[in-house]
Amino acid sequence: MKKLLSVLVAACALTVSLAACDKLPGKQKESFQNTDVTGLDYAKGFTLTDHTGKPRTLADFKGKAVVVFFGYTQCPDVCPTTMAEMATVMQKLGPLADQVQVLFITLDPERDTQELLANYVPAFDKRFLGLRGTPEQTAKTAKEFKVFYSKVPGTDPGSYTIDHTAGSYVFDRDGRLRLFIRHGQGPDPIVHDLRALLS
């Protein structure tokens, strides 16, 4: 119930934001199948470290369409299904997939070490990158992207789970926020929209 409530709150906030977005002057309507968030004034970037130990910012990926998903490696459902879905998207894109960068930002830096991310993230597709920061950097990045996350205690201190926003953000080649992908739609709408962004 708590997870459902948080998802509903996030969806309502996004709907309000989109109503304002539609009124932007000069905004062109494109035939996206996911939620067009062009012009919204958040998710401007991050400063984190990738699973090879290299410092990364959003600007590093300019020239590519970038898909950003927040999760954690011990997530039992949403995270692995999202990553598997994005792997299918890359397959369906064919050669165009080399112009797409998928980023997995961990919300669990305490357990998701660089080594663990290096094993987990590229297992879905070798081009995918895992990103992590300190707990403070993680909180700052999640706030910038308006991503909700909250620890849910387990039977012992190390067995907690994390409730979190399940969607993904998509940026165009110029690093502009363009789309919000709702979880569980399947790969085809994502393939369609990435082709549109890259054309």
Do 138 and 162 form a contact (C-beta atoms < 8 A)?
no
Whether 123 contacts 86, CB under 8 Å = no
Beta bridge partner(s), residue 101: 66
Q: Which has the closest alpha carbon to 38: 48, 46, 28?
A: 28
pLDDT on residue 31:
87
pLDDT confidence of residue 162:
96
Whole-prediction pTM: 0.84
Assigned fold of 35-47+66-198? Glutaredoxin (3.40.30)
Structure confidence at residue 3 (pLDDT) = 47
Residue type, 82: T
* CA pair distance 192, 71, nearest whole angstrom: 24
pLDDT score at 134: 97
Please compute Rg for the chain using Cα positions: 16
pLDDT at position 8 is: 42
| Binding site members for Cu cation | 75, 79, 164
Which residue positions form the known binding site? 75, 79, 164
Q: Determine the Cα–Cα distance for residues 155 and 111; give it in Å rounded to an integer.
A: 16
pLDDT at 19: 40
Running along the chain, 199 residues long, what does each successive block of 10 average in pLDDT?
45 43 48 94 96 98 98 96 98 98 98 98 98 98 96 90 95 97 94 96
